[in-house]
Structure 1
Amino acid sequence: MCAETPDYKDTLNLPKTDFPMRAGLPKREPEWLARWEKMDIYGRLRDKAVKAEGTVEARTPFTLHDGPPYANGHLHIGHALNKTIKDMIVRSHQMMGHESRYVPGWDCHGLPIEWKIEEQYRAKGKDKDDVPVIDFRQECRKFAEGWVDIQREEFKRLGISGNWDNPYLTMDFHAERVIAEEFMKFLMNGTLYQGSKPVMWSPIEETALAEAEVEYHDKESFTVWVKFKVAEPAASALAGAYVVIWTTTPWTMPSNKAVVYGSDIAYGLYEITGTPDESWAKVGDKYILADKLAADVMTRARLDDTMYTRLRDVPVSELEGLKLTHPLAGVEGSNGEWDDLRDFRAAPFVTDTEGTGFVHCAPSHGMEEFELYRDLGMLDQVITYNVMEDGSLRADMPFFGGTRILKQNGKEGDANKTIIDKLAEVGGLLARGKIKHSYPHSWRSKAPVIYRNTPQWFAAIDREIGDGRDTYGTTIRSRALTSIDELVKFTPQSGRNRLYSMIESRPDWVLSRQRAWGVPLTCFIKKGALPTDPDFLLRDAAVNARVAEAFETEGADAWYKEGAKARFIADAADPEAYDQVFDVLDVWFDSGSTHAFVLRDREDGTVDGIADVYMEGTDQHRGWFHSSLLQACGTIGRAPYRNVVTHGMTLDEKGLKMSKSIGNTIVPEEVIKQYGADILRLWVAQSDYTVDQRIGPEILKGVADSYRRLRNTLRFMLGSLGDFAEADRVAPEDMPELERWVLHRLAELDKQVRDGYAGFDFQTVFQSVFTFATVELSAFYFDIRKDALYCDGDTARRRAALTVLDALFHRLTTWLAPILVFTMEEVWLERFPGDDSSVHLVDFPETPEEWFDAELAAKWAGIRKVRRVVTAALEIQRSEKVIGASLEAAPVVHVEDAGLLAALQSVDFADICITSALTLTADPEPQEAFRLPEIEGVGVVFEKADGEKCQRCWKILPDVGHHGHAGVCARCDAALS
């Protein structure tokens, strides 16, 4: 610039904003949280809905029912994923015009809390059984209350909006009342029964477990091949031969009652002809084995193929009617415990894929065996009660009494080894070993579980209910399956198949737990009556009502107070003729009942008691989705939800499950301290949550980079809109085509955003908006319009650009508000400050349909395509230092297509390409023209711009210096004037 040329910098309309590029989220987010709490944002949205009722502006309620987390520890990254998705669903539906309700809740009863209190007792040398049960329950309640308060603050720090002042707790007195009432509906409609069957049992926690309370881990187990001698009929050609079984649970051998075979398996008779020095096999022994497995069994017995021979086929018809001898039969000191002959028959569950082709049956410890003998009407002959609550074998059992399957710490006890040693001693073993396999463990104590036959309370899911709610079926199972098919939409759809198959094949629901902290099974059983007797259970509406009223005012502790039985039964029957049940309900029944005391009973519930959405992790197909479905189908006749949305699990960056032991866990609190909660929320939005999520330091760095790019776009808008006034607004029909193209893109995005949020697809929403903001706006529209915004005077073009920026601002901030709750509030307040101002109090703006212009969009798709060729050609010149900026160029653009050329000639294409000049021609492309292979018919020949550099806008033009203001072009001279 010449010395006499003025400095025009102060005459430019440069962006002005205090909005910082460095967000400082960890420090600033708590300030917004405090502001929202003071404003009562959630409450004001509810007031807004109330005021709209009865008017044309009435908002349709939308309710996401919260699957209750368990109140016993700090939040992990899975909690953050879960609650953030829920928050995005709730906020987006609110901003799309619904009255969006979210009541957070907590699961407060159950074994994990009880276990913690027992641990505290043990540390103090106290015995739980010496503490009055109500005192113990109060300790559990206090423990849960403490964690509810901690978790509430941790959830709020994530920016989760909801009715935090009045959440639901399963231990609230009203909740306990309703849970009991829901149970009593099963009592009254005939689906409740007491049965004795094998259930998953935790010896460590001394209670039955549901499938949802079990997780599978690898476990090393003892494995044995045991010999059962063919005893009857004595005339059989197989008498004296051995049927060999294989089991990974030697502790069940004392409870063996039978052996079963497969009716379609090929069996053979094998004779031992030689043995090594160490073998339990003897020369002359004959074994019946499945042919496919015989070689493997012999190898396990240390026999090579020279030491045995196959004598002949053993047809299944020859096995029919045989009786076997237990290997411990007649052993000195056994007191006849195992002397009865063992049943031997075909069973459909026997295969020849592993083992021996025979299965040993202890129906007290295996569901398939139990069902086989139940269907045969022989349970009374085969059921045993050999395993106690703590996993020890009954004290008076010969040889093994008092031995334990597991120690109290969950490690291997002495029962398996003692039994194996005894079997070896009496010649009952053919082989032994160990196997590593997937095995069920309690998800709380992490200890292995066993199958144990105990009296438990069940909900029959195939029993006709007959309660008049038959629209979707007459049994719990039929109602559940019909609900899945006809009433519920699943996101992703694979969740439907998963839940359907689980419901289709599941057994009856085990409702009872042998613990103290929970809602009791509020029922009474007649002394001396059998479970099959019609008067076994006391079914009386007045009794039920008294229980419910007591629970409402005193909580479930009322069940445990002295005189409770006489108080509740009163004059309905003779209290002395009944026993009170003290088992507690499965906590999944608690959480499965929440639809009744949250959706049905609360003012912020739903009109019909049905939620719009249940949203949880994929593990809840066998957990909360499952139990809620069964419970509701038993009481209201259908699913309690219209949508089931499922997210995957959280993994580390390598795709490994997070584990404290290997140090790959990501703690939400640490992420928030480093980056802020908005970065964590953005990680959720950027990911496909329907599959497993990966998170780690490198992934979070990438998320933070995306955030910075987006923040830069928002900062540009704020800076440019500082002087925008309503009087500057330009009607769309008066705008240049470039602005109308942006409006068209907003119309397209508006549909994408609304459809995405309505379909719970946040990844598509964010990626669509992010790509638009960073590519179509920052790298295209803003890049082009900076010149007009900075350098134009009060022109129609500049006012049109500002009008479009205003439209962009309102849409981008609101569209992104459900995701980046803190940042969009910051952006909004930067432009609209005030004590009552918040982006979270407004809706998505309505976008006029007339903004949509497909013809214009097609035209500009062609224009942008040619621009790509021009900018690529100029980039080569820049990289080769021929020019420093695109304004130094005046390229010649050869366009073969006449229609495309006309489109380019109808706009200021030099302005679009950010060059000082540009020539469009239909002449054939010269050889030296630059081309892009993917864009045919377009070539660019580089030419330098002719003229002087305008000292205000930096364009190089021939007219610079020929106007009233020194060193400027005509446009800048007009702006200065």
Structure 2
Amino acid sequence: MSDDTGKRDYRDTVFLPRTDFPMKAGLPAKEPGILSRWEEEGLYRQLREARAGRETFILHDGPPYANGNIHIGHALNKVLKDAVTRTQTLLGKDAPYVPGWDCHGLPIEWKVEEQYRKTKRSKDAVPPAEFRQECREYAQKWVEVQIDQFKRLGVSGEWDKPYLTMAPEAEAGIVAELLKFAESGQLYRGAKPVMWSPVEKTALAEAEVEYEDIVSTQIDVAFEIVESPIAELVGAHAVIWTTTPWTIPVNQALAYGPEIDYVLLTPSYDRALNDASFTNADAVSHKKLLVARLLLGAVKARLGFTSHHEAWSGKGSDLAGTIARHPMHHLGGFYAEPRPLLPGDFVTTDSGTGLVHMSPDHGEDDFELCKAYGIGPKFVVEADGRYREDWGWLPRYDERSASVINPTFNAPDGPICSDLREAGALLSASADYQHSYPHSWRSKAKVIYRCTPQWFVPMDRPLKPSPPEGRGLGEGDARTAAAGSPLPPTPSPEGAGETTLRETALAEIEATRFVPAKGQNRIRAMVGGRPDWVLSRQRAWGVPITLFVDRRSGEYLVDPAVNARIVEAVKQDGVDAWSEDNAASLLGPDRDPAAYEMVTDILDVWFDSGSTHAFVLESDEWPDLRSPADLYLEGSDQHRGWFQSSLLESCATRGRAPYDQVLTHGFTMAADGRKMSKSLGNTVDPLKVMEEYGADIIRLWALSVDYTEDHRIGPEILKGVADSYRKLRNTFRYMLGALSGFAENERVTDVAAMPELERYMLALLGRLDARLRQAVADYDFNAYVRALTEFANEDLSAFFFDIRKDRLYCDAPGSIERRAYRTVLDTLFHAMVRYAAPVLVFTAEEVWGTRYPDGGSVHLLEWPEIPPADADMDRWDALRRLRERVMEAIEPMRREKTIRSGLEAEVSVPAPAVPEGFSSDQLMTLFISGEVRLHDGDTVKVAKTDDAKCGRCWRLLPEVSEDGDLCARCEGVVAELDAAR
């Protein structure tokens, strides 16, 4: 065949790449088919069998709640976990993954109650067992939905047998862990202020609380001093400032700072006060006021006086023995009792008046200080946030008795402020104080500190072995607390010098590797300062606190035989086994059920998930697992959640952390850096992303971002990720085409016999391999993906492939040079497809299956072995820098269409810039240019060559007589091919 000039057409002598691997990915349509094949072939089980007996790596899954479709945070979390287990598996380890779900607790109970509210049903009218069954069915539905969604992300795991905290075996395991606390004395019932949700009517853990900015009413209230060793103070008024007016009805004392300077002043006004913000100016102007000197300016601004006269000043310690009375003392009873001024180290001069009103029912500092002086809580505010019906002020049945979290109730014209104003005690009130305030992250309603009888795990009591039967409660009986009597004080810890739970946990934090390292400081601070662990919740859906309490002594029963029956009953019938109907059988024939109270509280759901190391990692149900785990991996909020509850549970029962390493990731934000919110319309649904782009794009995004910090996602970001994916895909497509027909007899086994460029590429691959191994060891998938994509784009596509395509297309099939190139391509292919497999799980499978249709799954392969190769890396790096200068010099001529390609460019380069040993012919090949000359200057010069073009390889060479003729290389190859035909 020849063209119009009579010259031969050599296209049939050129070896162009051939592959069926499409450039267009079509992932949304293709991925589900690959996923189905994996399930049919039992790929996860194949992998377990292939790695059986190998070194294990255990990542323990932190359970998400089963209460809705997955969101982008779920997707990031599961992809990270999958990347960990897949890279460890690739390294040859046995890295099973057992997913799990939190099924108990308020998140699910709240959703079922929402369904009730829509139909105007009351949960209280439904039998508890029936309600729990509805919760169970709700959770099961979403477990099944989320399993399919996580599988669609390409996450590999034990999906046919996940762990569920609502499974009877799991509930029994949780109960068994609780009873270990009871048997060792690390459990007590007492009354302390805890975070309480009046909407959800239960105590909340810190991890269930989020902080939002709100505007509250701030008030200054005068407490008349009736007794003091300082004569000037008698008849004066101690001024307190608060942003929670609703706590004034439960005030029992005032606190001062012993080292703070105080002043007694008489305010003066230069004008008549008519500003509405000063609600009781007459009361201010007729009183002597006691405040901290450093806060005098702020007090003056709030109360509105312009000058003052000082009657006394002194240290807070001088106030010892001073007694005030409640502003509502005229009501008698509780309000007529004296209000002592007590020293409090927590009192500061940051804001307020320097005097703090104490309500032991509603503050941790308040509780501890009052407790030290024999003042106990009164339990006035009930579960729904209203005052008790029998309370002397603001009774429940009064029309003013809205919940204490109701803004109207606390407003300057609300019932509390109105009554204080009428009593002449309200000095100022304004609804303009902006501050951060805790809210329930489920109901979004404000929470309060509320003192209630709860079950606690002490942080600072020495850990001990199980005590003899009948170990007491230690901190009082909730029955007396419910009646309004103060609980007995905590007894002094026994066994001084023994390690406490706090000390054990802090030591284990020091022994644990945290990624990133700052996570260690965060959890250390949290554990170091946390109060006792509140275990109890006043809800229906959860694992019960399976304790029998002696009605006479108030002690909980510790009997191993009873405990064994409880655990076995729960294992058989789940949480419904804990019922009055079963009390006799659980207690056994030697005990009278009437003598015992069955605790009706349920466990904090964090205790459920904190026990998973016990009933999952140590269970025969999953023999591939072991404890402690190598790694726990969750969001950074779990420093106060699952990481911490697991740590405390394991330290209390096993004396060590349940993990050796902890990895935390940040939160996914919108593209503009704002928090995602449905109301803002800036959420990114991973299910929709998979419908548009495919799961591999989400995976590439998740493993590309710096997930150790908060990170972003949005349409433009996803487009950028899709572009990166396209480049990687094209890299694989080129290799598949270039390796078409590659056979073992073509392989060059002696690396030393290969051209220097091939040896350099093998050395680069070895360097990449080391970087990737280090990234896996550091769990730094951002670095992993970056190294992989940079190598594919810069070292392969833009350099090696670009240079060697001429050799691939035009060299003789049997030439050592072409065989060496294809041999290195084969090595690159086997390495790159393995490296990419943990990231692009579907694409890597497609790539592997395209080349090896009967080769099984790529995910059964192990980390590649890279043949060693000697290359002067510095020399080649210098050459590449020169090559970039040449490319930059050629580009303007190509852009201006002076030349169509670099092959038409005659290049002159500075001789000093050329590394030693590169000939002009080699430089022509490496630069993909026409003839290359050297000169003594320091610039790269480019001109259009006058040489003719080879009719086969299209190179412009002096040896070609005219366009269309062949160069010497091509003449030889064509002659060889013609002879073979």
Normalised-by-shorter TM-score class: over 0.9
Change (3 A) 1:652 1:135: same
In structure 2, what is the Cα distance between the partners aligned to 1:950 and 1:96? 48
Equivalent residue, structure 1, for 2:781: 762
Structure 1 residues 809 and 350: CA distance shift in structure 2, 3 A = same
1:687 maps onto 2:705 in alignment: yes
Deviations for 1:21-49, whole angstroms, at most 9, x for unmatched residues? 11111111111111111111111001112
Measured after TM superposition, the shift of residue 234 of structure 1 is 8.4
1:481 corresponds to: 506
Separation in 1 of the partners of 2:105 and 2:97? Answer: 24
Amino acid at match of 1:214: V
Q: Please list the CA deviations of residues 919-976 of structure 1 after superposition, one character each: whole Å capped at 9, or x if unmatched.
A: 34xx522xxxxxxxxxxxx4333344353211110011233359xx972111111111
Asked if structure 1 preserves the Cα contact closer than 8 Å seen for 2:385 and 2:404, the reply is: no
SS at 2:77 equivalent: helix
Greater shift in the superposed pair: 402-411 or 944-953:
402-411
Cα 1:572–1:459 change in 2 (3 A) is farther
Instruction: Tell me what 1:83 maps to.
Output: 78
Q: Where does the alignment leave 5 or more consecutive residues of structure 2 unmatched?
A: 468-494, 976-981
Which residue number in structure 2 is paired with residue 847 of structure 1?
866
Mapping 1:442-521, distance limit 5 Å: 442-467=440-465, 474-486=499-511, 488-521=512-545
Paired position in structure 1 for 2:302: 300
* CA drift at 1:916: 3.1
1:94 paired to 2:85: no
Is 1:188 the counterpart of 2:183 in the alignment? yes
Shift of 1:339: 0.5
> 1:146, 1:439 → 2: CA distance?
35
Structure 1 residue 433 displacement after superposition: 1.2
**Are 2:137 and 1:142 equivalent residues in the alignment?**
yes
| Higher deviation after alignment, 883-892 or 814-823 | 883-892
2:400 matches 1:400: no
Matches for 1:241-390 after TM superposition, within 5 Å? 241-274=236-269, 276-278=272-274, 279=278, 280-282=280-282, 283-303=285-305, 305-306=306-307, 308-330=308-330, 334-374=331-371, 376-378=372-374, 381-390=375-384
Provide the residue aligned with 2:673 in structure 1: 655
* Structure 1 residues 251-287: Cα deviation after superposition (integer angstroms, max 9, x where no partner): 1111100001111212112112336244524334211
- Corresponding position of 2:483: none
Describe the SS at the equivalent of 1:103: coil
Match of 1:645 in 2: 663
Q: Is this contact kept in 2: 1:391–1:406, CA < 8 A? A: no
Q: Shift of residue 907 of structure 1?
A: 7.4
Aligned residues: 932
Query: Cα 1:335–1:310, aligned 2, differ >3 Å: closer, same or farther?
Result: closer
Q: Find the aligned partners of 2:890 and 2:400 in 1 and give their Cα distance.
A: 78
Tell me how far apart the structure 2 counterparts of residues 343 and 484 of structure 1 sit (CA, whole Å): 42
1:816 aligns with 836
Q: Does 1:951 align with 2:951?
A: yes
Q: State the Cα distance separating 1:2 from its structure 2 match.
A: 5.5
User: Structure 2 counterpart of 1:276, which letter?
Assistant: A
Question: How far apart, in 2, do the equivalents of 1:475 and 1:317 lie?
Answer: 34
1:912 is matched with which residue: 904, 926, 938? 926
Residue 199 (structure 2) pairs with residue 204 (structure 1): yes
User: Are 1:555 and 2:574 matched, yes or no?
Assistant: yes
Shift of 1:9: 1.4
The alignment-based identity, stated in percent, is 48
Structure 1 residue 312, shift from structure 2 partner = 4.2
Which of 641, 646, 653 aligns to 1:628? It is 646
Structure 2 SS opposite 1:691: coil
- 2:610 corresponds in structure 1 to 592
Instruction: Answer yes or no: is the 8 Å Cα contact 1:25–1:675 preserved in 2.
Output: yes
SS in 2 for 1:891: strand
How far apart, CA to CA, are the structure 2 residues paired with 1:125 and 1:686?
Answer: 48
Secondary structure (helix, strand or coil) at the match of 1:811 reads helix
Question: Within the alignment, does 1:71 sit opposite 2:62 as a pair?
Answer: no
CA deviation map 1:473-527 (0-9, x unaligned): 83221121111112x1111001010011101111110000011111101111110
TM-score norm. by structure 1 comes to 0.92
- Following TM superposition, by how much is the alpha carbon of 1:575 offset from its aligned partner in structure 2, in angstroms? 2.3
CA 1:633–1:138 in 2, change beyond 3 Å: closer, same or farther? same
8 A contact 1:269–1:286 mirrored in 2: yes
Closer, same or farther in 2 for the Cα pair 1:905/1:329, shift >3 Å? same
Superimposed CA distance per residue, residues 521-561 of structure 1 (whole angstroms, 9 cap, x where no aligned partner): 1111110324xxxxx1100000010011111111111002x
CA contact (8 A) 1:683 1:700 kept: yes
Which stretch of structure 1 is more off in the superposition, 119-128 or 812-821?
A: 119-128
* Counterparts of 1:883 and 1:404, CA distance in 2: 90
CA–CA separation in structure 1 for the residues paired with 2:725 and 2:874: 31
Task: Structure 1 unaligned segments of length 5 or more: list them.
Answer: 54-58, 531-535, 926-937
- Partner of residue 125 from structure 1, selected from 90, 112, 120: 120
Residue aligning to 1:935: none
Do 1:272 and 1:281's aligned partners in 2 also have CA atoms closer than 8 Å?
no
Structure 2 contact 212–439 (Cα < 8 Å) conserved: yes
Output the CA distance in 1 between the equivalents of 2:839 and 2:402: 49
1:580 and 2:575 equivalent?
no
2:619 partner letter: D
1:919-958 equivalent positions in 2, closer than 5 A: 919-920=933-934, 924-925=936-937, 938-958=938-958
Distance of 1:235 and 1:475 partners within structure 2: 44
RMSD value, Cα: 2.2
Aligned to 2:489: none
Alignment CA distance shift 1:468-1:323 (3 Å): closer
SS class of match (1:859): helix
Range with bigger deviation, 219-228 or 396-405: 396-405
**What is the alpha-carbon distance in structure 2 between the residues aligned to residue 632 and residue 406 of structure 1?**
45
- Tell me what 1:14 maps to: 16
CA distance in 2, matches of 1:512, 1:197: 12
1:412-464 C-alpha deviation (Å, 9 max, x unpaired): 36366211111111111000012221111111111111111111000112211
**SS in structure 1 at match of 2:940:** strand
CA distance in 1, matches of 2:344, 2:837: 61
Which residue of structure 1 lines up, in the alignment, with residue 719 of structure 2? 701
Matches within 5 A, 1:775-786: 775-786=794-805
CA distance in 2, matches of 1:355, 1:68: 43
Stretch moving more, 617-626 or 129-138 = 129-138
Q: Distance in 1 between matches of 2:590 and 2:109?
A: 34
Report if the CA contact (8 A) 1:404-1:415 is conserved: no
Contact 1:404 1:414 (C-alpha < 8 Å) held by counterparts: no
The answer for the alignment partner of 1:391 in structure 2 is 385
> Structure 2 counterpart of 1:769, which letter?
L
Contact 1:473–1:479, Cα closer than 8 Å, also in 2? no
Task: Read off the aligned partner of 1:837 and give its amino acid letter.
Answer: G
Structure 2 CA distance for aligned equivalents of residues 341 and 663 of structure 1: 55
The residue identity in structure 1 corresponding to 2:456 is F
- Calculate the TM-score normalised by the size of structure 2: 0.92
Cα 1:277–1:504 change in 2 (3 A) is closer
Greater alpha carbon shift after TM alignment, 63-72 vs 285-294: 285-294
Describe the shift of the 1:359–1:439 C-alpha distance in structure 2 as closer, same or farther (beyond 3 A): same
Q: CA deviation at 1:608?
A: 4.7
Aligned mates of 2:895, 2:952 — CA distance in 1: 25
Q: Which amino acid aligns with 1:118?
A: E
The yes-or-no answer on 1:178 pairing with 2:173 is yes
- Which has the higher mean CA deviation after the structures are superposed, 335-344 or 778-787? 335-344
Give runs of aligned pairs for residues 200-239 of structure 1, distance below 5 A. 200-233=195-228, 236-239=231-234
| Cα distance in 1 between the residues matched to 2:836 and 2:393 | 71
Residue in structure 1 matched with residue 965 of structure 2 by the alignment: 967
Q: Which runs of 4+ in 1 moved over 6 A?
A: 403-410
Q: Which residue matches 2:764?
A: 745
Contact 2:845 2:857 in 1 (8 A): yes
CA change 1:820–1:406 in 2 (3 A) is farther
